């Protein structure tokens, strides 16, 4: 069978200050897509709508990957002093991808920053800096602080009637946590379906049946060994992309 082409958005990585930056992403995203039966297709951050649209037309689904903070002006706020590093070109690339996919019903999976981006692109807002804006005993950067992507930092409670609950088959899972921002108000058309023990929203879904899911944790780092239940999320995503492609084939 012809594999679904899964577009994966990229980060910008700086190695030496005398070298141009690299655009790409961590191997775990690519591995998770291949293991789920998809064909990964890296989508670079670019400042050209026509080129971006041409890439978008060639993919069957969008995987918004993790990364740094999102510019708060995209949800109508001024930056707080504790705002982290932003990637202007990446924001500029991902915002239209989400909006096009939402308009077309093309499947979307947002991971960490990707879940936040889905929410912002569709009209939601974020906490710019969890430690200064939320009263919580949890360290949502704990897996990062421990330098272990598979460190299970806290639990994720899932809404019983959610698509994620059906996929993962559990009310509660232990997850990794490597995020500085989080969802504040949920965008129109989306629903919060997962929460950390302190009430931080850690999973969202479309309310209209569109395969549009965002998770605040990093399942791509857990799915191969730490918690294989996450493989189902990637498989269902790739299957939804195949169905979308076949439905919209000329
Ligand atoms: Mn967390």
Would you state the pLDDT for residue 97? 98
Indicate if 220 belongs to the active site.
Answer: yes
- Give the pLDDT confidence of 4-20 residue by residue, as tens digits: 999 999 999 999 999 99
CA distances in angstroms from 33 to 14, 54, 89, 233, listed in the order given: 25, 21, 24, 10
Would you state the pLDDT for residue 51? 98
Secondary structure (3-state) at 191 = strand
Domain ranges of the chain: 5-249
- Give the pLDDT confidence of 160-186 residue by residue, as tens digits: 999 999 999 999 999 999 999 999 999
Distance 108 CA to ligand 1 centre (A): 21
pTM of whole model > 0.75?
A: yes
Given this structure, which CATH class describes domain 5-249?
Answer: alpha beta
Residue 218 has pLDDT above 90, yes or no: yes
Helix (H) or strand (E) holding 24: strand 22-24
Distance 140 CA to ligand 1 centre (A): 4
- Give the pLDDT confidence of 26-57 residue by residue, as tens digits: 999 999 999 999 999 999 999 999 999 999 99
195 burial class (0-12, 13-18, 19+ CB within 10 angstroms)?
Answer: middle
Rounded Cα gap, residues 52 and 158, in angstroms: 34
The one catalytic residue among 10, 112, 217, 241: 112
Report residue 47 as tokens: 């400042």
Distance 51 CA to ligand 1 centre (A): 35
Would you state the pLDDT for residue 137? 95
Half-sphere exposure (Cβ direction) of 51: Cα atoms closer than 13 Å: 8
Residue 250 has pLDDT above 90, yes or no: no
Closest CA to 87 of 73, 110, 68: 68
């Amino acid at each position: 069978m012809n594999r679904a082409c899964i577009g994966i958005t990229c980060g910008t990585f700086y190695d030496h200050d005398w070298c141009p930056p690299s655009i790409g992403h961590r191997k775990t995203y690519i591995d998770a897509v291949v293991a789920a039966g998809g064909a990964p297709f890296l989508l670079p951050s670019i400042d050209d709508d026509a080129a971006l649209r041409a890439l978008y037309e060639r993919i069957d689904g969008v995987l918004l990957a993790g990364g740094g903070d999102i510019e708060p002006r995209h949800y109508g706020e001024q930056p707080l002093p504790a705002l982290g590093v932003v990637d202007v070109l990446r924001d500029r690339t991902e915002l239209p991808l989400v909006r096009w996919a939402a308009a077309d019903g093309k499947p979307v999976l947002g991971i960490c920053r990707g879940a936040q981006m889905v929410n912002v692109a569709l009209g939601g807002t974020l906490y710019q800096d969890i430690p200064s804006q939320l009263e919580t005993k949890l360290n949502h950067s704990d897996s990062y602080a421990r330098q272990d992507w598979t460190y299970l930092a806290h639990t994720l409670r899932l809404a019983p009637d959610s698509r994620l609950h059906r996929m993962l088959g559990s009310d509660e899972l232990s997850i990794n946590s490597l995020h500085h921002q989080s969802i504040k108000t949920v965008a129109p058309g989306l629903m919060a379906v997962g929460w950390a023990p302190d009430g931080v929203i850690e999973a969202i879904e479309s309310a209209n049946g569109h395969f549009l899911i965002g998770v605040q944790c990093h399942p791509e780092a857990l799915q191969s060994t730490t918690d294989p239940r996450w493989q189902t999320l990637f498989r269902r995503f790739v299957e939804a992309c195949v169905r979308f492609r076949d439905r919209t084939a000329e």
